[in-house]
Amino acid sequence: MKDKYGLGLGLNSMEGREAKHVFIAKYRKNSNYQNRWEQIFQHEFVSLVWLRERDYNFSMGKVSTLKSYITNSVSSDNKAFCHCGLKKECVTDSKCRFCGSKLRNDIEVSEVLLSKADL
């Protein structure tokens, strides 16, 4: 697979899926029991989406992937879904439970502070 496609543990290979499941199982053991899945999904979002949207993929150089993570439910202006693709608890909410969390707000504030420090 490496020689043919240029991918080692490719995105669709069985080895890649197994490696991800092992990683999630290890991360689950080190998380708080009550908020386990919320912590796992937040970590997945930050590592797989948030960092890539901001081109923090240092090993591959600068690659713009911003538009590749927009889901159909979000792009069709459906008010029941948040911009991240998760369903909101109430249609009138501006964000879902995940995006409205304190951790997510702290991440956004730190990004603003880092961008101001770079100027």
Q: Is 87 helix (H, G, I), strand (E, B) or coil?
A: strand
Q: How far apart are CA 103 and CA 108, in angstroms?
A: 9
Q: Where are the domains of the chain?
A: 1-61, 71-118
**Average pLDDT of 76-103?**
83
The least confident of 24-33, 52-61, 93-102 is 52-61
Q: Is 90 helix (H, G, I), strand (E, B) or coil?
A: coil
Angle of CA points 50, 2, 71, to nearest 5°: 30
Task: Identify which has the larger pLDDT, 8 or 42.
Answer: 42
Q: If you average pLDDT over each of 5-14, 44-53, 63-72, 101-110, which comes out highest?
A: 101-110
For residue 41, the model assigns a pLDDT of 80
For residue 68, the model assigns a pLDDT of 55
Task: Identify which has the larger pLDDT, 20 or 104.
Answer: 104
Task: Identify which has the larger pLDDT, 118 or 107.
Answer: 107
For residue 70, the model assigns a pLDDT of 59
**Average pLDDT of 53-73?**
58
Average pLDDT, the chain: 72
For residue 29, the model assigns a pLDDT of 77
Distances (CA, A) of 96 to 9, 11, 116, 117: 33, 28, 27, 29
